[in-house]
Amino acid sequence: MNKAVYIATIEPFSGKSLISIGLMNELLVRKSKVGYFRPVINDYPEGQKDNHILTMLNFFKLDMKYNDAYAFTRSEMVKLLNEGQEKKIIEKIIRKYKKLEKKFDFILIEGSDFSGEGAMIEFELNVRLAANLSIPTILVSSGVSKGFEEYISNVKLAYDSFKEEKVEVPAIIANKIKPKNLKKVVSRLQKLVDKDTYVAAIPRDENLLKPSMRDILNYFNGKVLYGENHLEKPVKHYEVGAMQLRHYLSRLKDKSVVITPGDRADLILGAIQADKSDAYPDISGLVLTGGITPEKPILKLIDGINTSLPIIVVRPNTYEVTSKISDLKPRINPYDKRKIMRSISLFKKYVDVKKILDKLIQYENEKMTPSMFLYNLEEWAGRERKRIVLPEGTDERILKAAARLQESGLVDIILLGKRDQICQIVKNKGINLNCNKIDIVDPETSPKLDEYAKKLYELRKHKGITETTAYDLVKDPSYFGTMMVLTGDADGMVSGAVHTTQHTIRPALQLIKTKPDAKLVSSVFFMCLPDRVSAFADCAINPNPNSEELAEIAIASADSAKKFGIKPKVAMLSYSSGSSGKGEDVEKVRKATEIVKEKRPDILVEGPIQYDAAVDPEVGKKKMPDSPVAGQASVLIFPDLNTGNNTYKAVQRETGALAIGPMLQGLNKPVNDLSRGCTVDDVYNTILLTAIQAQNDENKKDIEQNANKK
């Protein structure tokens, strides 16, 4: 079975990084261990490293060292070529590749950049490397600055060069193509290559072609004064500050960078205030030229303004910066999550990856890996777009997660709160959220307020609630959000970043209520461990469930696991395994296990069983050799909340596992709770879970079918 793919290009600045990032994201879904390798990298000053390698290793958290990810620098390669040592080059590259091949299930190899000395021979070297490694190659080409016929001719020549060396080319990806020419390029190339070669075209994307403040900082080797955490801001325009402030302000454009000498305090302070003002466009940053840092009184004044605007100092003067900055070629760096996610999104949209991967690897579905699970959350959430309401609209983590979802387009978000307050937080914190393109609802002024209050009163008047109380209650974000879900104005709700669990779920229990076949609401965490995903329940809701309740939690959790692509093998945990233990607590678990077997004979379940026997194959084989669950449990049911909550937190902290949830089970409509210590990733993933819960069952059939095959 093939274990690698080579990504090669025929020119510099082809956008090869987009293809590498997009393909790596797809590979990690199908293979738990994927490596990354570059035969040749650019030369860098001491202390600097290759941007491609850092991006792949850091963003995808690949388990490998930087030095293992490349074989030669460009100068080392040229020196050996000049000495007639091409064989030595190929031997070392093969040796380093084979070392990685032993460690990883699959390896993505990215060819050279075609820049600097030796560029003329790099294409030929890439062809020979792919041939010597016997690795199929994806050919990437750029449509920038070429006529149509010239472009087609160049790609065909490159394709023929690989085929002449007996290198398989499963795909050609035409990148940076004018949108109007996408179909034309694909159609023409497809006629010129083998029918087994898949051709795709990706359009030019201005979001990737525009540099960021970090690109400018690195290009001029500058120094950061302010806004180090916001250097990924995109830059659309360059505005040179040389005139008086009153004239300069009228020239500012959206996402512009202000270029001015470091001693022009009037322009510096004016630009900062303009960025904070709603009357002027957003500014991406300031570049202070001449190596001049503003004087202390000015810096003190900037400190008091509390700006998040990136401000950098560079050595060249204003004229030199203005002349050179147009030559800046933006790159995707490890810190620029916006560009990375955009690259992944473009790759998914324009490339049918299955057609490529079917030729490269055989799918393996033995277990659900964390990468597969996280990938699937996005894939499944996007199948049927849902509206999720977030009552805590002023929390920074909520807003950052909303910005990611706005960028991905997977879920429609509704924020609760005052629009002015939310938009001001977005601006002050430098959050990349477009307030003009997201629903923001203020419960206190919503036209739905009276309707919701009347509905709430009708539903709760038998409990003694008055119309006045109902009107007051519905102004509470948790109640308002719950009413949105109840009435169908939203498909689900996620809260708890600020509010308690009780504050989040009480309205849901009172109004949305449980499903007809559910007697209680329970919770499940999806624990993304290093090599697998397990479901932990109940770790958030029920303090001390009895046998019947424990059985219901187990059944609900098994169904949840199956709905999210995990084949359920349920372990009913206790302090003893099998028939050895005695006592009330063990008997409760034993009885719950029997109830599960009786009600749902289709579920693989074992209990009572200890945690180590449930998850460790060797221990499971020793303690319960005949069990189909022992040693391979994917759903772990804890006997009480004390055990479950402490265990999931201990596992999370000690292993670095990502705990997604808790996802609530048993409600008629999805409402999910967050931990008050949640991260942006926690919020993002829980929203995706909620959106998937809200989808029609028809959209989950293939997920469950995949789980059944595992």
Same domain, 8 and 53: yes
227 close to 307: Cβ distance less than 8 angstroms? yes
In this prediction, residue 120 carries a pLDDT of 55
Per-residue DSSP letters for 378-393? Answer: HHHHTTS--EEEES-T
Q: Which two tokens stand for residue 612?
A: 């180590």
Q: Helix 86-103 vs helix 74-82: angle between axes, to the nearest 10 degrees?
A: 140
Same domain, 177 and 272: no
Query: Domain containing 428 — which CATH number?
Result: 3.40.50.10950
In this prediction, residue 297 carries a pLDDT of 92
State whether the Cα torsion 312-318-321-322 is positive or negative: positive
Query: Domain containing 626 — which CATH number?
Result: 3.40.50.10750
Measured between alpha carbons, how far is 708 from 710 in angstroms, rounded to an integer? Answer: 6
DSSP code of 537? E
DSSP code of 230? G
Please list the ranges in the chain whose pLDDT falls under 50.
117-118, 362-366, 698-710
Closest to 18 (Cα-Cα) out of 114, 140, 113, 130: 140
- What type of residue is 389? V
Same domain, 200 and 249: no
Measured between alpha carbons, how far is 109 from 37 in angstroms, rounded to an integer? Answer: 5
107 close to 37: Cβ distance less than 8 angstroms? yes
570 close to 637: Cβ distance less than 8 angstroms? yes
DSSP code of 700? G
Residue 347 lies in a domain: no
573 close to 610: Cβ distance less than 8 angstroms? yes
Where among 205, 239, 261 does a domain terminate?
Answer: 205
Measured between alpha carbons, how far is 90 from 313 in angstroms, rounded to an integer? Answer: 43
Measured between alpha carbons, how far is 194 from 577 in angstroms, rounded to an integer? Answer: 59
Residue 507 lies in a domain: no
Same domain, 280 and 185: no
In this prediction, residue 308 carries a pLDDT of 86
Residue 373 lies in a domain: no
> How many structural domains comprise the chain?
4
Ranges assigned E (strand) in 1-136: 4-9, 34-41, 70-73, 106-110
276 close to 307: Cβ distance less than 8 angstroms? yes
Q: 3-state DSSP call for residue 594? A: helix
Residue 345 lies in a domain: no
Residue 350 lies in a domain: no
Q: Which two tokens stand for residue 221?
A: 């080797």
Q: Describe the chain by its helix, strand, coil percentages, rounded to 5.
A: 50, 15, 35
Residues spanned by the domain of 223: 213-327
406 close to 440: Cβ distance less than 8 angstroms? no
Query: Domain containing 133 — which CATH number?
Result: 3.40.50.300
Residue 371 lies in a domain: no
Same domain, 168 and 252: no
Same domain, 257 and 274: yes
Same domain, 660 and 578: yes
Pairing label, strands 223-226, 311-313: antiparallel
41 close to 70: Cβ distance less than 8 angstroms? yes
Q: Which residue has the tokens 């693989």?
A: 604
Same domain, 230 and 181: no
Q: 3-state DSSP call for residue 484? A: helix
DSSP code of 166? T
Residue 295 lies in a domain: yes
Where among 151, 179, 205 does a domain terminate?
Answer: 205
Query: Domain containing 229 — which CATH number?
Result: 3.40.1390.20
Measured between alpha carbons, how far is 175 from 163 in angstroms, rounded to an integer? Answer: 21
Same domain, 182 and 225: no
What mean pLDDT, rounded, does the chain reach? 88
Where among 164, 184, 205 does a domain terminate?
Answer: 205
The neighbour count for residue 663, using CB atoms within 10 Å, is 25
The neighbour count for residue 476, using CB atoms within 10 Å, is 17
Q: Which two tokens stand for residue 248?
A: 């300069």
Full-prediction pTM beyond 0.85?
no
Strand order in the sheet with 256-261: 223-226, 311-313, 283-289, 256-261, 237-240
Q: Which two tokens stand for residue 92?
A: 């070392």
The neighbour count for residue 164, using CB atoms within 10 Å, is 10
Same domain, 68 and 123: yes
Same domain, 415 and 266: no
The CA-atom distances, in angstroms, between 84 and each of 77, 108, 129, 287 are: 11, 28, 16, 46
Buried b / exposed e over 216-237, threshold 16 CB at 10 Å, is bbbbbebebbbbeebbbbbbeb
Residue 556 lies in a domain: yes
Ranges assigned E (strand) in 270-328: 283-289, 311-313
Same domain, 580 and 473: no
Q: Which two tokens stand for residue 385?
A: 């777009």
The CA-atom distances, in angstroms, between 49 and each of 17, 41, 333 are: 16, 9, 11
Measured between alpha carbons, how far is 590 from 608 in angstroms, rounded to an integer? Answer: 5
Measured between alpha carbons, how far is 656 from 654 in angstroms, rounded to an integer? Answer: 6
In this prediction, residue 491 carries a pLDDT of 96
Measured between alpha carbons, how far is 403 from 385 in angstroms, rounded to an integer? Answer: 16
